Structure 1
Amino acid sequence: MKIENEIDKLLQLDDSMKISVLGFSLIEEKVERLIELCLDSEHRVEITKMSTMIKVDLAVGLGVLPSDYKGLIKKLYQLRNEYAHKIYIESFPKQIDHIESSLSISQRDALKEIERELSQIEILRYATFSTIFSIEQCVKNYTNKLETDKKIREHKFNPPFALGIGIPFPSEKIINSLLENKWSILLQQSAQRALDAMNITKQINGR
């Protein structure tokens, strides 16, 4: 299912329990996909046997998930578990109060540009959507890196002026630095994409 369809379904949910439980299942699914890209096929079946936070730690350790998303994912995980074990009628689990403070840098930066404060359920929705979009972007980033690494390896067997215009092929270090800068921008765009999906607009002329 396309990510847009997944988000559309989440947008139709009107309570925090459904957003938390269903939204986190998508987050965990995408973390697993991210890890699969890094592991050989014979190890992939073992991913589903790992605990949720072990998966997150592994993705961070492999360098495919930014470390500043770990705190938020942990809070969303705890919130999901709270809803799974208790019934809340006219109140919220205490974990929901800590969602905003656990946002990553790119997620916080996007919030600074909106024209109003968000309610608790909007914060939860934003945190969930932007995390889904961000991990999806991490999948694309790493896929792109694999393709770039392949080109670098192929270049090592070609003449030093492989670009054909008298310019040496950039070093792997330079290429990785450029990719990291690009990835940072794309993650910021993922956070903004979540706000766009929620129809939350930016401030106009700083007001």
Structure 2
Amino acid sequence: MHHRLEAKYIEDTEVPIYSCPTEADVGSYRVIVYQTVAIPPNSEVVISATVSGVDKGLRWGAVEGHHSNPTGVMVGRTLIDLEAPCVPVRIANLNRHTQTLQEGTCVGKCDRVDFVIDVPPQEEKDVGEAGDVERELAPDLKSLFERSSVGLSGGQQEGTREFLLRRQDLFSKGSMDLGRKNILTHKIETGDAQPSRQRPYRLPPAKREEAVRAIDEMKSQ
């Protein structure tokens, strides 16, 4: 029901102002705490709540937070059954102190949901004979797999093979990519500084014979 509050005049024209319900007319309903609950700090709980003013014939609704929620309390968006007497609501307390929600407190709003589509779970591909054809090991990794599978059980061999398939990009594919990488590059900013030049460092002739003798002794050990 609409209640007349006051009237405004615009160029001698009376414009009445009425109160408007905040529920059914805008398609949203209030989510009320069913029983007083204390939520510990930095924690998440599932509480029981009721939805007020639901129109008959509605089955599904979506719960989300409300602007009047206490600071630091967040309500998770959830699909609920409006025909149930109580609905579960997930609430997180992000404060550093315990937050108490009294019975009858409005913690969120519920919007009507017209359609609910059941999406079947995605089927996982069976790694069998067909998967072996599509997921072949590289020639170099085949040799590594054969050497690493010696003494392993069937399950361990399959696990080794799956690991090599997932990590095959980490292994070298030939002699051309050994010792090379392009993961990260560094750049040192030197500004206007010029490179410093030094004379080639050589042993003086008096010490060369001693250095050669020390090297020969190390080779003979």
TM bucket, shorter chain = under 0.3
- The structure showing larger relative contact order (alpha-carbon pairs under 8 Å, at least 6 residues apart) is 1
Give the TM-score normalised by the residue count of structure 2.
0.20
More helix by share: 1
Give the TM-score normalised by the residue count of structure 1.
0.21
Determine which structure has more spread, i.e. the larger CA radius of gyration.
Answer: 2
More strand by share: 2
